[in-house]
């Protein structure tokens, strides 16, 4: 994570990773046969973690929006992962990037889940007037990604979770969703 997040996925090498981990290149390749495989493991690891806060599939409720805030609070404690995802998401906009399909699919999945949470809030009368659940989901994802970029560039000097909460509080009755 440190190598990919500081050098970028493309520029970071398995040699760098072996050196940072203090093992031989052949030792690293024994566990992870390729760089793509290392990346896939990191991506899958983080998504599993995210689902413990937000749920997935039929588990998604309006409460998942409060879960997003908890997830961001958690992310603030693992800045290396935040940096990796920030750089990787941008690098993977290139259709040739090995994680392109994964990242495109992941953004669609996250947005769909958050839209479902907003729709649940709508049904339960917790959504502000005139808010479109799909648009609100797109915006919430944008705010999270954009705040991450600022947070890294500014040396982690503000509270991303508090800022996301203040964003969500304008579209949904967030205080009724805290767990």
Q: Which residues bind a second copy (CB under 8 A)?
A: 6-8, 10-11, 83, 86-87, 89-94, 96, 103-104, 107-108, 111, 128, 132, 135, 138-139, 141-147, 149-150, 152-154, 158, 163, 166-167, 170-171
Kind and range of the H or E run holding 15: helix 14-21
In whole angstroms, the minimum distance from the beta carbon of 143 to a second copy comes to 5
CB burial of 77-97 (b: ≥16 within 10 Å; e: otherwise) equals: eeeebbbbbbbbbebbeeeeb
In whole angstroms, the minimum distance from the beta carbon of 142 to a second copy comes to 3
In whole angstroms, the minimum distance from the beta carbon of 57 to a second copy comes to 22
In whole angstroms, the minimum distance from the beta carbon of 84 to a second copy comes to 10
Name the residue among 74, 104, 75 with its Cα closest to residue 89: 104
Shorter beta-carbon distance to a second copy: residue 10 or 124: 10
Name the residue among 82, 90, 99, 102 with its Cα closest to residue 154: 82
């Amino acid at each position: 994570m440190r190598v990919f997040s500081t050098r970028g996925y493309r520029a970071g090498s398995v040699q760098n990773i072996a050196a940072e981990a203090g093992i031989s290149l052949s030792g690293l390749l024994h566990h992870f046969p390729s760089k793509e495989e290392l990346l896939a493991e990191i991506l899958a690891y983080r998504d599993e973690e995210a689902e413990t806060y937000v749920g997935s599939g039929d588990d998604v409720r309006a409460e998942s929006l409060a879960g997003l805030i908890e997830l961001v609070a958690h992310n603030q404690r693992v800045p290396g992962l935040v940096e990796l995802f920030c750089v990787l998401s941008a690098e993977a906009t290139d259709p040739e990037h090995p994680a392109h399909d994964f990242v495109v699919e992941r953004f669609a999945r996250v947005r769909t889940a958050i839209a479902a949470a907003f729709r649940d809030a709508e049904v339960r009368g917790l959504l502000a007037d005139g808010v479109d659940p799909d648009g609100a989901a797109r915006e919430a994802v944008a705010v999270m990604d954009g705040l991450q970029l600022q947070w890294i560039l500014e040396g982690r000097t503000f509270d991303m979770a508090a800022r996301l909460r203040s964003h969500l509080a304008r579209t949904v009755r967030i205080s009724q969703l805290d767990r």
